[in-house]
Structure 1
Amino acid sequence: MTLVIRSLGFVVFTYVAVAILLWSMQSRLLYPAPQTPAPLTPGYAEVQLETADGLTLRAFYNPAEGDRPTVVYFHGNGGTLSGASVSNAALVEAGIGALLVEYRGYGGNPGEPAEAGFYRDGEAAMQWLAAQGIGPEETVIIGNSIGGGVAVEMARRHDPAALALVAPFTSLPDAAASNLWWLPAGWLVSDQYRNADKIAALDLPVLIQHGDADTLIPDAHGKTLVRLARDGKFQSFARSGHALSFERRSQEARRDWVLGLF
């Protein structure tokens, strides 16, 4: 009996220790920010976004052709401006404008990554576009993975023409629970990005793309969000995983959806 009690005590101790370790390291785990500044993508100009808390962030901008709309793109938690330009290649080739946002703490930018800070970065992007004379009615907000959380919040605040989410989650705690089902993820995760709580209030077209082989954020998250959206469309991609945003077929589907709105 003593051996059983000791064994159970060791298991409990190990479980608690792992939970505490993950909690203490969550910022580094959630935001594995690449530090090397991305080289400027041909066709883009480097611009600076000024945040409300005094940071200057590097971003890339490619202006729209004629009366084409402009997308504001928020990449995933391990992304870069170079990757964002790949994810939007098909749209830019069609003359759609693109403002690619780089977060605080990423790609040589100052600051520390966090949900509240990412929202300030998003606000800086929207204000920069407004200063160029590009209003919400000409803007489509697109977010990939954790960037979908920023995209939903910006859509809630600014009422753009449309919103597109690629491989999104219902909330960050839900996404953590999908991968760490054996831990109380809802208590451990500080940043929330509660997309499911916000999306029903958006009175605009919403496109959600998800790969049916996504093991990081299962497509059940995307399907839940599209059911909650007032005007939602779901596109499923067979055999695609979490890198869906980089796939040409997903880009072309986003491009066609955006052009169909204008």
Structure 2
Amino acid sequence: MAIRKIILRLLRIGALLLGVLVLSFLSGCWNWFVEKQVFFHDTTIEQTPADFDLPFEDIWFTGSDSVRLHGWLIPASPSSHILLFCHGNAGNISHRLDNVRLLHQRGISVFIFDYRGYGRSDGRISEKGFYLDSEAAYQVARKWADQHKAKLVVFGRSLGGIAATHVGATQPCNGLILESTFTNMGAMAGAHYPLPFAERILKHRLNAVGEIGGVHVPVLFFHGDNDMIVPI
């Protein structure tokens, strides 16, 4: 009986260790998937607001984990609103200046920033870092809004909508705008990688649905029905 108990105990320990190894493996797979298949970061700044005759200020700021980040503050004058612009998964802030110019022409100030690993921002992209960067960028926009007595609206496009939803759910703002934002990573995996387990495993990752309930300001959703990347 004593030998049997020892064997059973060893089997339990072995099963526990195997579970830890499997979880570690899956975590590593997720980190690889995020870095290689979700975030397509580009470090080349191809143009600046000056190329569009826009006034701007280079803003250097840090995340709560001390990663150095970069963004552009494009003030409009006069301006009663500032838009925190969370861009999508590819390129960097230099590829969104057409949009920024249109906003500026309508009297809206913009703070657009790059996540870690994008553009001039330091660090290496990760899901956790993605959220930390959006929180840090919010603080920059919040400070400007308070100084200029302006309303702060958070905008996110595609993957950036996940960051924007997180900010809107955790920080005070005056509105949230989501363009072509997916519900969670599980839904995206189910649409593009139709494996029976993918949607269930990933449904809690990059999860806008899980956070939208914490948003208590007006929300505008818009989405094109010909979007082949993020289907409606």
- Please state which band the TM-score falls in when normalised by the shorter chain: 0.7 to 0.9
Residue by residue, what CA displacement relative to the aligned partner does 1:214-256 show, whole Å, maximum 9, x if unpaired?
121112xxxxxxxxxxxxxxxxxxxxxxxxxxxxxxxxxxxxx
Which of the residues 32, 36, 41 maps onto 1:28? 36
* 1:47–1:60 CA contact under 8 A, matched in 2: yes
Secondary structure of the residue that 1:211 maps to in structure 2?
coil
Q: Indicate how the Cα distance of structure 1 residues 183 and 29 shifts in structure 2: closer, same or farther if over 3 A, else same.
A: farther
* 1:143–1:151 CA contact under 8 A, matched in 2: yes
1:40 is matched with 48
Query: TM-score of the superposition, structure 1-length normalised?
Result: 0.69
Q: Within 1, Cα distance between the matches of 2:211 and 2:145?
A: 27
Secondary structure of the residue that 2:104 maps to in structure 1?
helix
User: Which residue identity is paired with 2:197?
Assistant: P
2:193 is matched with 180
* 1:85–1:100 CA contact under 8 A, matched in 2: no
User: Which residue identity is paired with 1:171?
Assistant: N
Q: CA RMSD in A?
A: 2.6
Task: After superposing the two structures, state which structure 1 stretch, 28-37 or 128-137, moved more.
Answer: 128-137
Q: Work out the percentage of aligned pairs sharing the same amino acid.
A: 25
Q: CA deviation at 1:188?
A: 5.6
Q: Within 1, Cα distance between the matches of 2:226 and 2:58?
A: 35
Secondary structure of the residue that 1:132 maps to in structure 2?
helix
Q: Within 1, Cα distance between the matches of 2:47 and 2:188?
A: 31
2:130 is matched with 118
User: In the comparison of the two structures, how many residue pairs are matched?
Assistant: 201
* 1:72–1:98 CA contact under 8 A, matched in 2: yes
Structure 1 stretches lacking a partner, 5+ long: 1-18, 220-262
- Tell me whether 1:100 sits opposite 2:108 in the alignment: no
Query: TM-score of the superposition, structure 2-length normalised?
Result: 0.78
2:93 is matched with 81
* 1:38–1:81 CA contact under 8 A, matched in 2: no
Q: Indicate how the Cα distance of structure 1 residues 212 and 22 shifts in structure 2: closer, same or farther if over 3 A, else same.
A: farther
* 1:35–1:106 CA contact under 8 A, matched in 2: yes
Secondary structure of the residue that 2:182 maps to in structure 1?
coil
Q: CA deviation at 1:51?
A: 1.1
2:163 is matched with 150
1:3 is matched with none
Which of the residues 204, 207, 213 maps onto 2:226? 213
Residue by residue, what CA displacement relative to the aligned partner does 1:32-69 show, whole Å, maximum 9, x if unpaired?
11121343222222111211111111101111322420
Task: After superposing the two structures, state which structure 1 stretch, 160-169 or 59-68, moved more.
Answer: 59-68
Residue by residue, what CA displacement relative to the aligned partner does 1:77-135 show, whole Å, maximum 9, x if unpaired?
10311222223332111110000010001113211112211111112112222333537
Q: CA deviation at 1:191?
A: 7.6
* 1:137–1:161 CA contact under 8 A, matched in 2: no
* 1:144–1:167 CA contact under 8 A, matched in 2: yes
Q: Indicate how the Cα distance of structure 1 residues 69 and 133 shifts in structure 2: closer, same or farther if over 3 A, else same.
A: closer
* 1:40–1:46 CA contact under 8 A, matched in 2: no
User: Which residue identity is paired with 1:34?
Assistant: D
User: Which residue identity is paired with 1:32?
Assistant: F
Q: Indicate how the Cα distance of structure 1 residues 39 and 88 shifts in structure 2: closer, same or farther if over 3 A, else same.
A: closer
1:1-262, aligned counterparts within 5 Å?
25-26=32-33, 27-42=35-50, 43=54, 44-134=56-146, 138-186=151-199, 189=202, 192-219=205-232
Q: CA deviation at 1:150?
A: 0.3
Q: Indicate how the Cα distance of structure 1 residues 36 and 54 shifts in structure 2: closer, same or farther if over 3 A, else same.
A: same
Q: CA deviation at 1:162?
A: 0.4
Higher Cα radius of gyration: 2
